[in-house]
Structure 1
Amino acid sequence: MSKQEIQEVRKHQIIKDDEIDLIALIKTIWEGRKTIYYSVGVCVFIGLLIAFLSPAKYTASATLLPSSEKMSNNLGGLGALAGMAGVNLSSMMGQSEGIPTEIYPQVINSYPFLNEFVHEKFHFEDYAEPISIYDYVVADTIPTLGSQIVKYTIGLPWTLKDAILSSKDELEKDIIEYGVLNLSEEEIIALDVVFELLEVDVDDKTGLVKVSVEVDEPLLAAQYVQNAVKLLQDYVIEYKTQQVRENLKFVQERYVEKKEEYEHAQMEYFNYKDAHRNIVSERMDPEFQRLNDVYDIASTVYKSLAQQLEQAKISVKEETPVFTVLEPAKVPFEKSSPNTKIILVLSVFLGGFIGFGIIFGKILWNNIKKYFN
């Protein structure tokens, strides 16, 4: 190694005797400043391309406050004392007002919820009339004329193969009942679209639930959030009131049956009584006594069911959870992404990091080459 090369190595030797030479470090960075400028410029240019060419996204959200848990009346003052001590006796004794907020994300990502959501109609900018997400996905998957030509020319062998296999599968589906969900390709695509759209954040401390959506249409984002909140409320209400609604349905069916029996027994009893009004021994008549007993029993059962029916209706009202929408869904006016400022800042940092890496990489590579030579 020549004397000049040795001096060059020492000149760029930043670490000397286990210490960092700041002067050598600054000189090395200053001499490679053009590399840093070029690197930062290239990264900023790429960042601007990303910022201006990426489709604009708009975010809409809504904040919910589910009804708080209610304490059983039998607890009395014990419930209040337990609440002051930080103990939730209502949840321990099964007296919660609805589905725990912690599982709201699982509720929204469940198949029943997503399947109902994809068939709700929304106003898309490309369509004059509101359509569902499923119909929108199906419209996007309709093959174009060019793809159809390719399908029946170059891809004809594969087209015939797929047709034969699909016909066999359809025949098997007609013969065999699997008893499980068998979704079509369009349904899977639609469910995936909704699955990626809806986001649910639950604040464990306050219990607030935030539902947000980010799409490329501001009006559509607000529609998605508003509909998701409504479906979530309906789902929680249906879950919480399922038992009392089943009890109401049962009582109502029995009430209708006993009402008919009561009216029939009443009609027979009073008709018989009117027909034998002038007979002195009417109260000694066994038929009269039988009709009277039947009427009394039917009347008692009917009145009891009427009371139970009203109580069941009240129970449904009492068990129905109440949601408070603290922040309703609004149509966003400013795009949420891409964020040009953040992209530029990250581009500058990335460009500087790459520039420094190139400078020190060159020095390390030159030193390795010189030492090996």
Structure 2
Amino acid sequence: MSENKNYQHPDVQEAENDELEIDWMEILRKIITIRKTLYKAAGVGVVLGIIIALSIPKQYTVTVTLSPEMGGDSKGGGLASLASSFLGGGASSSSNDALNVTLAPDIVSSTPFILELFNTRVQTLDGEIDTTLVTYLDEQKGPWWGYIKSAPSMAIKAIKSLLTDRTDTISILNPFQLTYQEKSKVEYLKKQIVAEIDTRTGMTTINATLQDPKVAAIIADSVVAKLQQYIIDYRIKKAKEDCTYLEELYHERQQEYYKAQSKYAHYFDSNRNIAFQSVRAEQERLQNDMNLAYQVYSQVAQQLQVARAKIQEEKPVFAVVEPATIPLFPSNTSRKVILLGVTILTICITGIWQLIGKHYFRKIKSIISNKIL
């Protein structure tokens, strides 16, 4: 019985296929009917596409690739270990480093790092603008709809500038409390300057995207330099603190040794021909004090040499695989693609409205009018 329920007569299937073909043919006929409207829509789409394509400013992206080789040899084969072995000490042990190379993207996108780029000197390719990055951001162009969106805030800003003395509006950059304009520039640069890392190979890629190719190259190069210096400063900070402490301790122990040596020499010269046992005992005590001071002084000197060698050992080495170069072509979407996309989108929206939307709109309108009546 179930087979009989699912069974359809061949004539019925042919009728449904014919009906489906008739539906597609009907759609094709409707499209042919509204072809003049679609032609007009295509013309409007071309105009809109040209306007939008010309309104979007060009963007240039500079990519820099780094291959960092961090210091701190775990096997004790660094300069500190070599100095320690020459001076009679043990091999230096590896230290756990809180700053990992995988944190480079987070460092680049941090607010303090972005704020350090504000005063970077930049120059456009045509040489017309030579200023700081924070000032150059005000010179960048935007699409016309962006000005319409920001028109209220620009009007309020203009009114405030008229009512307020210009000397009072100048403020020093405060990372703890940024103004609205500073915050918006920081957020913009966080999107335009991006660092990515391949966890498998350790390769770090830095992308800087701005409207001028030379400015983008300068900023990408500055980001690399600041990132290197940031990591180097962090890596050698502890070693520098240890070295500074050992230098102070070295000078203190040196003065103690010199005093003990001078005291022993003075006592020895003053009592050279005296054969009393008490004199010999005091002389032996002073000599022991001098020898002990020398041993401590010698050990601190060895540790100081190891600490100085460790500063150089802790410095990471960055191999710049792909340096910053001025790009020749923009990196954003081509104007031809924008023109074609807007034209096709306009045609599709017009066709859907003519074929489907207008019919349902009239139906909904008639239903509403009947309910009102």
Letter in 2 for 1:122: V
CA-to-partner distance for each residue in 1:281-326, whole Å, 9 max, x for gaps? Answer: 6994455334423322221112111111122223333333222221
Aligned equivalents of 2:219, 2:318: Cα separation in 1? 18
CA contact (8 A) 2:71 2:317 kept: no
* Counterpart residue number, 2:113: 113
> What SS does the corresponding residue of 1:294 show, helix, strand or coil?
helix
Letter in 1 for 2:64: A
Aligned equivalents of 2:366, 2:220: Cα separation in 1? 65
Q: State the Cα distance separating 1:353 from its structure 2 match.
A: 1.6
Match of 1:250 among 209, 233, 245: 245
Match of 1:327 among 322, 325, 330: 322
Q: State the Cα distance separating 1:61 from its structure 2 match.
A: 1.5
CA contact (8 A) 1:58 1:215 kept: yes
Letter in 1 for 2:201: T
Aligned equivalents of 2:58, 2:193: Cα separation in 1? 18
After superposition, where does 1:130-141 map in structure 2 within 5 Å?
131-134=131-134
CA contact (8 A) 1:70 1:97 kept: no
Aligned equivalents of 1:16, 1:303: Cα separation in 2? 104
After superposition, where does 1:216-227 map in structure 2 within 5 Å?
216-227=211-222
* Counterpart residue number, 1:21: 23
* Counterpart residue number, 2:256: 261
Q: State the Cα distance separating 1:59 from its structure 2 match.
A: 1.3
CA-to-partner distance for each residue in 1:212-244, whole Å, 9 max, x for gaps? Answer: 111122211111111111211222233334433
For the aligned residue pairs, the C-alpha RMSD in angstroms reads 4.2
* Counterpart residue number, 1:99: 100
Q: State the Cα distance separating 1:204 from its structure 2 match.
A: 3.5
Match of 1:57 among 46, 56, 59: 59
Match of 2:348 among 344, 353, 360: 353
CA contact (8 A) 2:119 2:133 kept: yes
Letter in 1 for 2:100: I
Evaluate the alpha carbon distance shift between residue 55 and residue 371 of structure 1 in structure 2; reply closer, same or farther with a 3 A threshold: closer
> What SS does the corresponding residue of 2:329 show, helix, strand or coil?
coil
Aligned equivalents of 1:235, 1:119: Cα separation in 2? 17
CA contact (8 A) 1:218 1:332 kept: yes
Gaps of 5+ in 1: 1-14, 75-92, 141-145, 171-179
> What SS does the corresponding residue of 1:55 show, helix, strand or coil?
coil
TM-score (norm 2): 0.68
Evaluate the alpha carbon distance shift between residue 209 and residue 26 of structure 1 in structure 2; reply closer, same or farther with a 3 A threshold: same
Q: State the Cα distance separating 1:57 from its structure 2 match.
A: 2.1
> What SS does the corresponding residue of 1:307 show, helix, strand or coil?
helix
CA contact (8 A) 1:99 1:239 kept: no
* Counterpart residue number, 2:10: none
CA contact (8 A) 2:62 2:207 kept: yes
> What SS does the corresponding residue of 1:332 show, helix, strand or coil?
coil
* Counterpart residue number, 1:5: none
Q: State the Cα distance separating 1:205 from its structure 2 match.
A: 3.5
